[in-house]
Chains A and B, each alone.
Chain A
Amino acid sequence: MNLHLKVWRQKNKNAKGKFVDYEAKDISTDTSFLEMLDVVNEELIKKGEEPIAFDHDCREGICGSCGMYINGRAHGPQVGAATCQLHMRSFKDGDTIVIEPWRAKAFPVIKDLVVDRSAFDRIMAAGGFISVNTGGAPDANALPIPKDVQESAIDAAACIGCGACVAACKNASSMLFVSAKVAHLARLPQGKPEREKRVMAMVAQMEEEGFGACTNTEACSAECPKEIPMDVIAQLRREYIRAFAKSEEKV
């Protein structure tokens, strides 16, 4: 199949970017979206032009690095898949595909389609951890956790931190990401000691980074490659209210 691409090209953080047209020729419907870009890049390299920069690592939907906005959708049209899991069979011969980086004040573009997602790292550093003693592995059965609790925690833990929630949200809110992390840890006994501090610190860092506020449009969950459900956001709100109610600070 042959495709017309309109790709956002931007030299560096401070440069003004623009859309550049490329032709992707003889692409098999079995190739993944990233492989299609590889083919285009090889052509560019042959011609002595700068290849299109995009983030990728695992190419199997695990690392969360490959996010891009494809024809108006985060990670493209396929539901429940990261860009690397998107296949060209989702497009038709002759289609025009507009490829843009994530757009959010908190995710500045570094180059072309690559954005700086270190805001997520700083949110994690603010509270997305548990404290455990190092040493020998603990006995697997020392801490019994019911199966349904385990499963709901794992559902939240499926978040790969790709940023599609921010990209798709009209408010550029990272609420689904932060909520997935908060819910994941709050649902397990290991997360209890830092439970109140964690939600307060992570929400504060999220605001500090300049993400928007969630207004429940549910776009995040609809575009999430891991299909993290909206109920994690409700849980974050409950955790936040609870943490405030329990805090020792003067009213």
Chain B
Amino acid sequence: MSGFFRFIDSSVGKKIVMALTGLFIILFLVEHLAGNLLLLLNDNGKIFEEYSAFMAGSLNIPVRIVEIGLFFFIIYHIVNGVRLWWGNRVARGFSYKVNDPSENSTFFSRFMIWGGTIVFIFLVIHLRTFFFPYRLGNPSNTMYEGAVEAFSNPYYSIFYIIALIFLAFHLVHGFQSAFQSLGIRYNKYTAIIKNFGIVFSILLCAGFALIPLYFLFNAGGN
């Protein structure tokens, strides 16, 4: 392996990769939320449809490039995360009879692989509901109608909201951990980064949760 690949595959490098891909996915989530909130405009999805047509346009080259990058980074983030988790399990070897990690670390920091797994399952279902039929298939209705239909199903909506709670768990640790992995930790900023990460994770996931809640209780609004 040449220097660069050895670097990103070292124990330090793997975390740098997790941090950079994670932060990129966070940026995407912010954009995704901003777009999705257009669903709540009470205009029968007119503006939302314009927005999604723009984002999905085959001539929208910058978005197409970023989209390929996004898929690549998500897959890299998952594969790398599983490799880290497995390597770290092996490094322990024999486990303790009595162990009290709640005394020295947060639940969120120890839950990353499991929260991540739940978010991954969510992602697969989410892509099946929206991305594959509306972007790659021949949909019989608009994406807005699809969203209304999907979220009027209480099971589907509740599943979404639960998955979003786990996403928030993942981000509460992941956001601040990304900075630490990149070596960005100076005493005067540590508290700011940690607190911002917590508020950000809650707001982001609450923002996403608004959408299923809105359609669940509003059933299309009219």
- Tell yes or no: B11 within 8 A of A by CB: yes
User: Does residue B104 face the partner (Cβ distance < 8 Å to A)?
Assistant: yes
Is B121 an interface residue when CB atoms closer than 8 A count as contact? Answer: no
Give residues of chain A (198-250) contacting chain B, Cβ–Cβ below 8 Å: 203-204, 206-207, 210-219, 222-223, 230-231, 233-238, 240-241, 244, 247, 249-250
Instruction: Identify the closest chain A residue to B12 (Cβ).
Output: A240
Whether B185 lies near A73 (C-beta < 8 A) is no
Nearest-neighbor residue (CB-CB) of A211 within chain B? B91
A212 touches B87 (CB 8 A): yes
- Using a Cβ–Cβ cut-off of 8 Å, how many residues does chain B contribute to the interface with A? 45
- Kindly identify which residue among A104, A105, A217 contacts B110, using a CB–CB cutoff of 8 Å: A217
With an 8 A cutoff between CB atoms, is B187 at the interface?
yes
Beta-carbon contact of A244 and B185 below 8 Å: no
Q: How far is the CB of B177 from chain A (nearest CB, A)?
A: 4
* Residues of the A chain whose Cβ atoms lie less than 8 Å from the Cβ of B92: 103-105, 170-172, 212
Which residues of chain A in 176-210 are interfacial with respect to chain B, using CB atoms and an 8 Å cutoff?
203-204, 206-207, 210
> Does B3 contact A237, Cβ atoms closer than 8 Å?
no
Q: How far is the CB of B165 from chain A (nearest CB, A)?
A: 21
> Number of contacts between A and B (CB, 8 Å)?
150
Interface size on A, residues (CB 8 A): 51
Contact with A along B1-23 (1 / 0, CB 8 A): 01110010011111110000000
Residue-wise, chain A 60-90 has the 8 Å CB interface mask toward B (1 for contact) of: 0000000001011100010000000000000
Q: A217-B110, A230-B185, A238-B183 are in contact. List 13 more A-B contacts (CB 8 A).
A: A19-B97, A72-B100, A103-B92, A104-B92, A168-B101, A171-B88, A173-B11, A215-B109, A218-B104, A219-B101, A230-B180, A244-B3, A250-B3
Binding site for A on B (CB under 8 A): 2-4, 7, 10-16, 84, 87-88, 90-101, 103-106, 109-110, 112, 173, 176-177, 180-187, 190
Chain A interface (Cβ < 8 Å from any Cβ of B): 6, 8, 19, 69, 71-73, 77, 98, 100, 103-106, 168, 170-173, 175, 203-204, 206-207, 210-219, 222-223, 230-231, 233-238, 240-241, 244, 247, 249-251
